[in-house]
Amino acid sequence: MYELFEHTADLGLRATAPNIDALFAEMAACLCAAILEDPTSVRPTIAESIEIAGTDREFLLFDWLKELLYRFDAEHQVFSRFEVSVRQDGLTATAWGEPLDPERHLLNHEVKAITYHELSVVPTDGGWRAEVIVDI
């Protein structure tokens, strides 16, 4: 489950999930909801494998979202479905999506960057919760 929330001039992404793998997938979906008006417009036709190294859980989330943003901005790919496996030393993920089609994919915000501000990945009673602010 994810939501976008207000933050001064920018935008916050927040998600909760029963386990950390699902949390990282939800945060990715949340980023796509910030970028696209309707994330369900993205057809999962191409599967991309992504691997990221890192031991700090918060930096790992940061780098995961940063990679997806890069693929949108530089490679014009949009995604709608994610499977993530978070390990002690990094993560392995598959992201399903398609090339950006401006006719079908209406853009919401231009996300300039993922930021460290109030970046958090924390355990909760029923699972995990994450927050990150993006610069728009």
Partner 1 sequence: MKAAFAGPLERVDSCCYRIPKSYRADMRVDGLIFANDALIESVKKDQAPDQVANVATLPGIQGASLAMPDIHWGYGFCIGGVCATDPAEGGVISPGGVGYDINCGVRLVKTNLFWDDVKHHVRSLVKGLFHTIPAGAGRGGRYKFDAVETRRLMAQGPRFVIDRDLGVPRDLTHTEADGLIPDGDPDQVSDHAVKRGAEQCGTLGSGNHFLEVQVVDSVFDADVAKAFGLELNQVCVMIHSGSRGLGYQVCDDALAAFRNCPAKYGITLPDRQLACAPAESPEGKKYIAAMRAAANYGFTNRQLLMQQAREVFAAEFGRKWEDLGMELLYDVAHNIAKLEEHVVDGKRKRVWVHRKGATRAFPAGHPELPDVYRAVGQPVIIPGDMGRASWVLVGAAGSMERTFGSTCHGAGRAMSRTAAKLQAAGRRIDKELESKGVIAMASSRMGLAEEQPAAYKNVDHVVDVVHEANLSRKVARMRPVGVIKG
Q: Which is nearer to partner 1, 43 or 83 (CB)?
A: 43
Question: SS3 of 16, please?
Answer: strand
> Rounded CA gap, 95 and 67, in Å?
11
Residues 6+ apart with CB under 8 A from 101: none
Strands of 77-87's sheet in order across: 46-53, 90-99, 77-87
> Binding to partner 1 by residue 53, rule CB under 8 A?
no
Supply the minimum distance, in Å, between the C-beta of residue 61 and partner 1.
Answer: 13
> Binding to partner 1 by residue 98, rule CB under 8 A?
no
Q: Kindly identify the residues of this chain, within the stretch 101-120, that bind partner 1 according to CB under 8 A.
A: 102, 107-110, 112-117, 119
> Rounded CA gap, 84 and 22, in Å?
7
Supply the minimum distance, in Å, between the C-beta of residue 57 and partner 1.
Answer: 14
Q: Which residues bind partner 1 (CB under 8 A)?
A: 6-11, 35, 59, 63, 66, 70, 73-76, 100, 102, 107-110, 112-117, 119, 135-136
